[in-house]
A and B are shown apart, each in its own frame.
Chain A
Amino acid sequence: MVLPRLKLEKRPPPTLKMKVAAAIGSIALALLFSSILIVQAGVNPLVGYFHLFYGALGDKLSLTETFVRFCPLALTGVACAIAFLCKFWNIGAEGQLYAGGLAATFFGISFLGAPSYLIIPLMTISGFLGGAFWAFIPAALKTRWKVDEVVTTLLGNWIIYFITGAILYGPWQNPVTKWPESPAISEAAKLPILIPGTRFHLGIVLALIVVLIYLVIYWGTAWGYELKAIGANPEASYSMGIKVERNMVLAAILSGGIAGLAGAFEVNGLNFHMKLDLSHGYGYTGIVIAMLGGLHPVGVALAAFFMAIIVTGTQAMHRVTGVPFPLSEVIQGLSLICLLLGNFLTEYRVRRVVE
Chain B
Amino acid sequence: MINEELAVKMVGITKRFPGVIANNNINFEVKRGEIHSLLGENGAGKTTLMNILYGLYAMDKGEIYIYGEKVDIGSPKDAIKLGIGMIHQHFTLVPPFTVTENIILGYEGNNLILKTDEAEKRIMELAEKYGFEVDPRKKVMYLSVGEQQRVEILKALYRGAKILILDEPTSVLTPPETKQLFNILRRMADEGKSVIFISHKLDEVMEISDRITVLRKGKVVSTVSKDETSKRELAKMMVGREVIFLLSRPEVEVGEIVLDVQGLFVLDDRGLTAVKNVYLNVRRGEILGIAGVAGNGQKELAEAIVGVRKALKGKIFVEGKNVTNRPPYELMSMGIGYITEDRVGKGLIIDLTVKENLISKVYSAMTRKLFFLDKDLAERYSKWLIKEFDIVAPSPETPAKTLSGGNLQKLLLARELAIEPTLLVASQPTRGLDVGATEYIRERLLEQKKRGTAILLISEDLEEILGLSDRVAVMYEGEIMGVLPVKDANIEDIGLMMAGAKRLNR
Contact = CB atoms under 8 A, between A and B. Distances in A.
A237 B308 contact: no
Contacts of B245: none
B402 interface: yes
Given A220-B375, A229-B360, A351-B74, A241 B329 contact: yes
Interface in A219-257: 220-223, 225, 228-229, 232-233, 235-243
Contacts of A239: 306-308, 328, 338, 340, 346-347
B348 interface: yes
A220 B372 contact: yes
A176 interface: no
Nearest to A230: B349
Nearest to A246: B329
Interface string A57-82: 00000000000000000000000000
Contact of B361 (A222, A233, A235, A240): A240
Nearest to B370: A221
A236 B338 CA distance: 11
Given A232-B349, A239-B338, A240-B332, A221 B371 contact: yes
Nearest to A9: B58
B373 A235 contact: no
B24 to A, nearest CB: 17
Nearest to B363: A222
B363 A225 contact: yes
Interface residues of A, number: 28
Contacts of A242: 329, 360
A1 interface: no
Interface string B290-315: 00000000000000001110000000
Interface in B308-330: 308, 327-329
A222 B367 contact: yes
B329 A353 contact: no
A173 B41 CA distance: 76
A12 B60 CA distance: 14
Interface string B460-482: 00000000000000000000000
B349 A7 contact: no
B401 interface: yes
B141 interface: no
A354 interface: yes
Interface string A1-39: 000010101101100000000000000000000000000
A353 B328 contact: no
A354 B72 contact: yes
A71 to B, nearest CB: 26
Contacts of B349: 229, 232-233, 236-237
Given A9-B58, A235-B345, A225 B332 contact: no
B328 A240 contact: yes
B225 interface: no
B106 interface: no
B18 A12 contact: yes
B331 A241 contact: yes
Contacts of B361: 240-241
B344 to A, nearest CB: 9
Nearest to B367: A222
Contacts of A354: 72
Contact of A241 (B332, B348, B356, B372): B332
A62 B307 CA distance: 58
A13 B75 CA distance: 19
A353 B72 contact: yes
Contacts of B493: none
A239 B304 CA distance: 11
Contacts of A243: 327, 329
A169 to B, nearest CB: 45
B364 interface: yes
Contacts of B327: 238, 243
Contacts of B333: 241
A13 B401 contact: yes
B351 interface: yes
B399 interface: yes
B126 interface: no
A9 B371 CA distance: 41
Nearest to A5: B74
B350 interface: yes
A238 B332 CA distance: 10
Nearest to B401: A13
Contact of B373 (A10, A225, A240): A225
Contacts of A9: 57-58, 74-75
Nearest to B333: A241
Contacts of A241: 328-329, 331-333, 361
A243 B361 CA distance: 12
A159 to B, nearest CB: 33
Interface centre among B75, B349, B371, B373 (most CB of A within 10 A): B349
Contact of A222 (B348, B350, B371): B371
Nearest to A14: B399
Contact of A221 (B329, B350, B373): B373
B352 interface: yes
Given A221-B371, A223-B371, A228 B74 contact: no
Interface centre among A13, A351, A354, A355 (most CB of B within 10 A): A13
Interface in B44-82: 56-58, 72, 74-75
A40 B373 CA distance: 54
Interface of B: 17-18, 56-58, 72, 74-75, 306-308, 327-329, 331-333, 338, 340, 345-352, 356, 360-361, 363-364, 366-367, 371-373, 375, 399, 401-402
7 nearest A-B pairs in the assembled complex, by CB-CB distance:
A241-B332, A353-B74, A232-B351, A221-B371, A233-B349, A241-B329, A239-B308
23 contacts: A13-B402, A220-B372, A220-B373, A221-B371, A222-B364, A222-B371, A225-B363, A229-B352, A229-B356, A229-B360, A233-B345, A236-B347, A239-B328, A239-B346, A240-B332, A240-B360, A241-B328, A241-B331, A241-B333, A243-B329, A351-B74, A353-B74, A354-B72
Given A221-B372, A236-B348, 20 more contacts: A5-B74, A9-B75, A12-B17, A222-B366, A222-B367, A225-B373, A229-B356, A229-B360, A232-B352, A233-B348, A233-B349, A233-B350, A235-B346, A236-B346, A238-B328, A239-B306, A239-B328, A240-B338, A354-B72, A355-B72
Interface of A: 5, 7, 9-10, 12-13, 220-223, 225, 228-229, 232-233, 235-243, 351, 353-355
